[in-house]
């Protein structure tokens, strides 16, 4: 199944996800470069909610650009297999050697605004991320490490603590949603 079909078949969790799904599909149908950052207005990204085996903790990174604790994730950069993008980003940003998906399905989706910022000495204008989130799992006793050019911390937090430590109000709302969905996962 291609990424557009995967998004089309996704059942939104709430009215926000329903609207975001509609916008993401419209964007994919309008632009032929949504998988790359060549589309400077908006592009696809893939994030991951990495939980421990008992599903009581989540692994967060301290994101340098946003100056906040955050989930791991990144740009598709031309890769249409967004689940694999999330696994790659999880390993790169946290140092995890062993991480697996709990489901191959999209766990949530979001349209998120990104403020203009400097990256690698160049200014990146404000734009949107058309984001798919996947639910991943890892042992919480693994050695982790930072990715110096992106983050300055990697740490496991209790689910509720992960919401509290974020400095980004919009992200807190997303993390609350992810925790709610996690509680009902596999029921």
pLDDT digits (tens, 9 = 90+) for 124-166: 999 999 999 999 999 999 999 999 999 999 999 999 999 999 9
Give the model's confidence band at 1: pLDDT under 50 very low, under 70 low, under 90 confident, else very high: low
Residue 110's DSSP bridge partners are 131
Mean pLDDT, residues 38-64 taken together: 97
The share of the chain scoring above pLDDT 90, in percent, equals 94
Give the mean pLDDT of the chain. Answer: 96
Task: Give the per-residue pLDDT at 20.
Answer: 98
CA 31 to chain CA centroid, Å, is 22
Q: What angle do CA 17, 172, 150 make, to 5 degrees?
A: 100
CATH at 86: 3.90.79.10
Report the alpha-carbon distance of residue 92 to residue 119 in Å, rounded. 17
Q: How many domains, in total, are found in the chain?
A: 1
Helices first, then strands: H and E counts in the chain: 5, 10
Give the model's confidence band at 120: pLDDT under 50 very low, under 70 low, under 90 confident, else very high: confident
Domain that residue 75 falls in = 3-183
Task: Give the per-residue pLDDT at 18.
Answer: 98
Mean pLDDT, residues 112-123 taken together: 90
Task: Give the per-residue pLDDT at 41.
Answer: 95
pLDDT digits (tens, 9 = 90+) for 67-101: 999 999 999 999 999 999 999 999 999 999 999 99
């Amino acid at each position: 199944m291609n990424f557009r079909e995967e998004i089309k078949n996704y059942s939104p969790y709430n009215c926000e996800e329903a609207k975001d799904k509609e916008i993401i599909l419209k964007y994919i149908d309008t632009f032929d470069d949504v998988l790359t950052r060549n589309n400077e207005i908006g592009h696809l990204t893939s994030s991951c909610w990495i939980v421990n085996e008992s599903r009581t903790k989540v692994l967060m990174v301290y994101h340098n650009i946003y100056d906040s604790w955050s989930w791991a994730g990144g740009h598709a950069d031309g890769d249409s297999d967004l689940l694999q993008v999330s696994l790659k980003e999880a390993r790169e940003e946290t140092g995890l050697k062993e991480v697996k998906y709990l489901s191959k399905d999209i766990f949530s989706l979001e349209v998120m605004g990104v403020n203009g910022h400097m990256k690698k000495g160049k200014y990146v204008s404000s734009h949107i991320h058309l984001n798919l989130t996947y639910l991943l799992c890892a042992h919480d006793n693994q050695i982790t490490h930072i990715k110096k050019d992106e983050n300055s911390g990697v740490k496991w937090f209790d689910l509720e603590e992960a919401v509290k430590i974020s400095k980004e109000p919009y992200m807190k709302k997303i993390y609350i949603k992810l925790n709610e969905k996690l509680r009902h996962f596999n029921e």
